[in-house]
Structure 1
């Protein structure tokens, strides 16, 4: 079981102090969070991709490349990489380069993004979002798995005799998670390829999360990748923890109420009851996270926590990471209890080599030209 932190790099006003950090401060802070996450024993640091204000991570490969040079152990990921508005050739080359720089400590989440104006900025139409995600991912797989690619699709100029460079480290493509909060087509896509499925369930009730994850698990088994309980699942949560639960609620409330995402909806207490917003003491957080097995339809592989953003000050974020470092060892022990031996761990570069993924297949990827059928949950 992997535990880590993720963020989207928003630049938000602190509703308590009234101060808004600069873009420079936010970028440098993200690096500090990643380094501290490694120091306290977390497994994963992930950062999103945004091309619109008030967000700063428009170049996650640059940011993660710098973090790779400042860390030694922690696995680096994205949350998410925009598979719809990025050129698959550029994704293949950028992330293969980053994979080399990080000595294999890399995977990535692919997502469509939820900001409509971004699509035309990159020459695309949001109405083609699902089709772009399907086609671009199929091409990305081939670019990583085939030395020479001949390809023609709907949304990109054809490729003839093209080789993406550098080639993936040790002949192993970075593991891919497909991230979605509402689209059965993306859950189906993840299952079709045997990739991971990550549900960023901050705003959604557990019933919705379970429905989409169950669809992915059923279709993972249908496509012959293993039993449903062996599917590779990741979940998210928004965390704010203090030694005393009442202090946590009191301190977090103004940030919740002032947030563009949370503030105009249900109350903090209602949101905590229905979604993956965790506010309380360490023991309360542990007890709540352990219930996520139900949301995931069984044992799962990755749990990420959002601890920064929505104006929470830098010092407080560092304190959250420190406390999470105390919580995670308990969660590891509890999740290990009763975990079936046939349920895999989250894939890593080393595990993919060990299971025979180091030899690229010869010829064309037989799945690349096929479109997964869409099965409604």
Structure 2
């Protein structure tokens, strides 16, 4: 049995056979998993159970876990994080009841690693962290670290518009072993530049931090004056910048590390404006080709060939496009947590044509791409 800290309790990894025996024996004092008492977990109350990899079951239990000391954390050195070029904002697949499909998730992560991706954003916008409760969020970070943390950098999206939530989640994310955190500026209930600086300083104290600037989602630009003050913090890694390449170039001339947050600009960010690389949605689908244009060499011809796919992915707000695409590739079940719904059938047909143009062999998975019908998608309002 492996145990690690979760946001509101412990994350326990049990052999699958042991967990199944426990379900029908006195190890669980209730006929229901949730709320039952787990003797293997020292009498704690069970908050959730998910299928794991390699014949194990991930159990989250509700006794609050203490944060680990800084010496016990698994965070990477800031300089190591700065070297990453291709980071995938990884998709979170679902089962028909809305729980995480960890088998599909593990397969998707393995394909990212096998094609040269160096880092993952777990529970970001693409991974639908905004639709998770914090227990799910921290469990997924812990699961990713447990199975893949020695092969790829795990960066947990633990930001929030509440400083209290962001600091607590970031503390717990590093406690379960993530290598770095992604932090967004407070959205909707926006604050002043002075408030931004205090907010980010509060979360950066736990470990290496990438700041994420996406005004189209937050409604507020993180101005260079804010970044310049934060850049002196010992845990400041760099920023994911979505404003454009003029802003990227401004920062890179100051020797700051910047990843493009816009796939369609990322080739030029990397080769023409001094950017480090990209935090990518498109690499969920074509990790090998994204590696080619970001890590290997400047390739304007290949980048031009990929632009129709990148543009298609953002016809509607992310992650609608990538969810639809992975479903049609047969890599994930066509299950959506609302408010996200699939792209309409004409756009689904267009995706098949794009795949055929680029070549199915360059996409994740090994099933033929297909046009799914409306009634093949499952939309969940409660999960």
TM-score of the superposed pair, with normalisation by structure 1:
0.44
TM-score by length of 2: 0.44
Q: Say which structure, 1 or 2, has more relative contact order (CA 8 Å, 6+ apart).
A: 1
